[in-house]
Amino acid sequence: MSNIISKDFEKDLHERGFRITPQRRVVLRILQEADEHLTPAEVYQRANQLFPGFTEATVYRSLNFLAAEGLVLAAHIGSGQLVYEIGGYNHHHLICRNCRSTCAVEHEVLEILYRQLAEKTGYQIDSVHVTFFGLCPDCKEQKRE
């Protein structure tokens, strides 16, 4: 596992008056290198391999802090619990209800919808993560057969 986290994350935190603690650094590294959403338990498991003695409470505190600062994205993806991924870019997900495969959708695809919702309702929408559920092309095809 790389010892380097994005300097932008460290710079962002420093400019806001926060330190990048070793624990926060480990959590950020784990999420940067993950190719999927991770539950807090999965982050803890990986963190404990890097830092034996890392506690679950430390993982939860780090995830909550990093999410509040916008460096980590917390999302509900239909599993009944929050999952986390590295922040920094606005995107959404399509998740297959059958096989659970996930497809990322760039925010630009939904930008017009966001704007229309804001204009129609008066809400200032600050969520940058929406999850849609359905059947992926493979499962849809299997269902037809």
Residue 69 in this model has a pLDDT that exceeds 60? yes
Residue 2 belongs to a domain: no
Query: Residue 105 is part of a domain; what is its CATH number?
Result: 3.30.1490.190
User: What CATH number should be reported for the domain holding residue 62?
Assistant: 1.10.10.10
Residue 139 parent element (H or E):
helix 137-144
Residue-level pLDDT at 2: 38
pLDDT in tens, 5-27: 455 777 888 888 888 888 898 99
pLDDT of residue 123: 93
According to the model, what pLDDT value does residue 9 have? 77
Distances 43 to 25, 113, 125 between C-alpha atoms, Å:
12, 33, 29
> What is the reported pTM?
0.73
Domain range for 126 is 91-144
Higher pLDDT, 31 or 143: 31
- For the chain, the residue count is 145
* pLDDT on residue 3: 40
Name the average pLDDT for the chain.
85
Question: Mapping DSSP to helix (H, G, I), strand (E, B) and coil, where does residue 110 land?
Answer: helix
